[in-house]
Structures are given as C-alpha cells and as structure tokens.
Copies of this chain bind each other. A is one copy, B any other.
Amino acid sequence: MKLNILGCYSATPRTITNPTSQVLEINNQMYLIDCGEGTQVQLRKHKIKFSRINQIFISHLHGDHFFGLIGLISTFSLLNRPNDLHIYGPKGIKEIILLQIKLSKSYTKYNLFFHELESTESELIFEDDKVEVHTIPLKHRVYANGFLFKEKPGLRRINIDAAQEQNIEVCYFNKLKQGSDLQREDGTIIKNETVTFDPQPIQSYAFCSDTVYNEEIIPLIKEVDVLYHESTFLERDIEKCIPTGHSTAMQAAEIAKKAHVKNLILGHYSTRYPEIELFKKEAETVFQPVLLADDGKVFKF
C-alpha cells in the first residue's frame, strides 16, 4: 500500500496548504479519498495519473472535503476519460454534482455512478478481488464516514525448491496456490504447506476524518496497519473539539492505542499552530509510532 497525501489541512485552502485529499494505492489500483478544492491540481503536481482513479470516497459534505469533486469530474470529461467512475459519499452528493452538470450542460461521456451513504452502521461498500472497503461511521457536525480499506488474502505462493524436490508438475500449481493438498497416483498425500508459503501478508488502512473522539470506532479499526486520524487541535484547545466536531492529537493517539493499531498518521491540522511537529510530540506521549501527514508526502507500508 502507498498513501499519497495531496492535502491534509483543515478549513480553507491556502497558498501552501491544501484541504483534505489523499490517494491510496493498493495493487496498482488508486482510490481517491476526499477531494477538497484544488485536488485536481495536486494530482497533477504529484504526477498521479487521473485515468487510474475509478473510485472516489467522500467522507462528508463539508467544503474542505469535497469542493474539488465537481472540478475533477469535469476535467475527467475534458480529458475524454473512457472508464466508469464510482463516487461513494453521503446522500445529497449526487444532487449537488448532477445539478452542476445539468446547468453547465457538461454531461460526462463516461459513466458516473453514485453510491450514496446514509447508514450509521458500518457497511461493506466496495469490493473487488483484491480489496474491501467498509465505512467507519464518524461523529461530526454533519453525517460523516471514515473508510477502512482491507486487502483480501492473496493466493498461497509456491515453494519452487520444495515442489521440484517432490516432482510436482506445473499444471498443479494453481491448485496448490488455492490451498489444496495433492494426491499422488499411489494415493499418498502431499500436504499443501510442505510445498507452499503463506500468501503475502494483507494490510489495512483506516481513514478517520473528521470526527470527535469516539471510542465506538475502535472495534472497526482494531489492529489496522495504519490509522489516519484527524487531529485538528492540540489538547490546549480541547474545548473547541465538541462544538466543532474535531479531535486533539492526544485523542487521536488514545484511539490508536486502544485499537492496537500499528501506525498512526495525524492530519487535518488547524493552521493556528506554528508547526505540525507539536501534534506529533503531543500524540507520542500516548502512542508510538506517530507519523505526520503533510501535503505531498508519500507513505509506503
């Protein structure tokens, strides 16, 4: 998995900071998560091929998470995109996009599918042969979801040396990859695990922004490899969290700790603080390792 942070600052886009958007790359598929104003320019800047994005996940309908979507959809059209595009986001997103398309008479030539979300329970919203995406219901000022990306286990891998030693012909390899034992003509059994390795370990990524501190998400994100949790504020401004629907860096770390995640990435910083290092320092008092998102940063895991 590779995570490209296109923007990770809260509220308004500025000359050097961008609102939320990130591209998660899993097995050569690219999933766009949130799409603040200017996302298409950030995609260009970081040389991410527009054509490889087929699914877009929108957490909630605050401007800093979706005002760039209509522009991206239009640009896909101008670039003569052939592929279908699937948009997952809160109920209402379809009406917003289609109204603008209708009034600008800019109908897309590609197929545009909307998958509107309104459940407050976690649900499986996308899967293919490599990955599943589940919602993580969040608590914010408006209806919001995080997204849990879970790789599916791959096939077992042939232990070539062991297979040759046992004189197994190549035509049986697919059966082995799928986990079956083999039976020789003399009736003896070759146990699968003696000639194969386990599949590549699977990975999981949980995106949680925007949200107040909410322990209800813990069972959903338990032991994920990477948790991106918003940290709009530092503890010294904790009184701002409930009215605005946000968390502090320490609260993000508490969630990471209680969910036993492997890595925590912080983001969605308020620009009121002089440096983002302060978020890391605060979170590290509770949980480690803490990584800081920043516009243009790429995480490989």
Contact of A71 among B63, B95, B105, B141 (CB under 8 A): B63
Query: A12-B40, A12-B75 in contact; A63/B67 too (CB < 8 A)?
Result: no
Q: Is the CB of B67 within 8 A of A71?
A: yes
Interface residues of A in 91-137 (CB under 8 A from B): 92-93, 95-96, 99-100, 103-106
Report how many copies the assembly holds: 2
Chain B residues whose CB sits within 8 angstroms of the CB of A92 once the complex forms: 103
Q: Is A142 an interface residue (CB 8 A)?
A: yes
User: In the docked arrangement, what's the CA distance between A14 and B40, Å?
Assistant: 8
| CB closest chain-B residue, reference A73 | B63
Q: Is the CB of B142 within 8 A of A62?
A: no
List the interface of chain A (C-beta within 8 A of B): 11-15, 37-38, 40-41, 44-45, 61-63, 67-68, 70-71, 74-75, 78-79, 90, 92-93, 95-96, 99-100, 103-106, 141-142
25 A-B residue pairs with CB within 8 Å: A12-B75, A12-B78, A12-B79, A13-B41, A13-B71, A14-B41, A15-B41, A15-B45, A37-B40, A38-B38, A61-B104, A62-B104, A62-B106, A63-B71, A63-B100, A67-B70, A67-B74, A90-B103, A92-B103, A93-B103, A95-B103, A96-B99, A99-B99, A103-B142, A104-B142
